Chain A
Amino acid sequence: MAKKLSFCIIMILVLALSTFSCKQKKQQQVGNEKSKGKGKIAVVISTLNNPWFVVLGDTAKERAEQLGYEATIFDSQNDTAKESDHFDNIITGGYAAILFNPTEADGSIANVKKAKEAKIPTFCIDREINSNDVAVTQILSDNYSGCVEMGQYFVKKMNGKGKYVELLGILGDNNTWNRSKGFHSVVDNYPNLKMVAQQTAEFDRTKAMEVLESILQANPDIDAVFCGNDAMAMGAYQALVAAGKAEKVMVFGFDGAKDVIDSISDGKIIATGMQFPKKMAQMAAEQADEYIKGKKDFPKKVPVAVELVTQENITRYTAYGRQSEQ
Chain B
Amino acid sequence: MKKVGKYVVAAAIMAFLLYHSIYFKKLDDVKKQRQRETFNAAQYARDFWDNQLFRVLDKTVDVKELIELFNTNMNQAIRKYGKAPGVSRSYAYLIRGNGKILSIAQDFLQLSVREPQTNPDIKIASSLYIPGNAVRDASGLVDVSEFSDTMKFNEISSEINKILVKEVIRPFLEKKPKIGQTIRFFGATQVAQDATEQNLFGQVISSSTETKEFQLVKVVPIRFEFE
Contact = CB atoms under 8 A, between A and B. Distances in A.
Interface residues of B, number: 22
B149 interface: yes
Given A144-B151, A305-B88, A132 B145 contact: yes
A299 B86 CA distance: 9
A305 B89 contact: yes
A4 B132 CA distance: 80
Contact of A145 (B89, B133, B145, B149): B133
A239 to B, nearest CB: 30
B85 interface: yes
A305 B148 contact: no
Interface string A125-153: 00010111100000010101100100110
Interface string A171-194: 000100110011001100100000
A174 B89 contact: no
A144 B131 contact: no
B167 to A, nearest CB: 19
A325 to B, nearest CB: 11
B87 A130 contact: no
A135 to B, nearest CB: 11
Given A142-B86, A307-B89, A301 B131 contact: no
A300 B158 CA distance: 22
A302 interface: yes
Nearest to B194: A316
Contacts of B148: 130-132
Nearest to B88: A305
Chain B contact residues, majority secondary structure: loop
Contacts of B90: 305
B84 interface: yes
B5 to A, nearest CB: 21
A303 B147 CA distance: 12
B148 to A, nearest CB: 5
Interface in B114-152: 129, 131-133, 144-145, 147-151
A182 B154 contact: yes
A105 interface: yes
Size band of the interface chain A makes with B: 20 to 34
A304 B88 CA distance: 6
Given A145-B132, A148-B131, A185-B158, A304 B151 contact: no
Given A301-B144, A305-B86, A148 B132 contact: yes
A301 B154 CA distance: 13
Nearest to B86: A303
A234 B85 CA distance: 32
B145 A299 contact: yes
B154 A300 contact: no
B36 A178 contact: no
A258 interface: no
A130 B89 CA distance: 26
Contact of A105 (B84, B145, B149): B149
15 contacts: A130-B148, A131-B148, A132-B147, A140-B150, A145-B133, A174-B151, A185-B158, A186-B131, A279-B87, A301-B147, A303-B87, A303-B144, A304-B88, A305-B88, A305-B90
Interface of B: 32, 36, 84-90, 129, 131-133, 144-145, 147-151, 154, 158
Given A148-B131, A299-B144, 20 more contacts: A105-B149, A130-B36, A131-B32, A140-B86, A140-B150, A142-B86, A142-B88, A142-B150, A144-B154, A145-B154, A152-B131, A174-B149, A174-B151, A185-B158, A283-B87, A301-B86, A301-B147, A302-B86, A302-B144, A303-B86
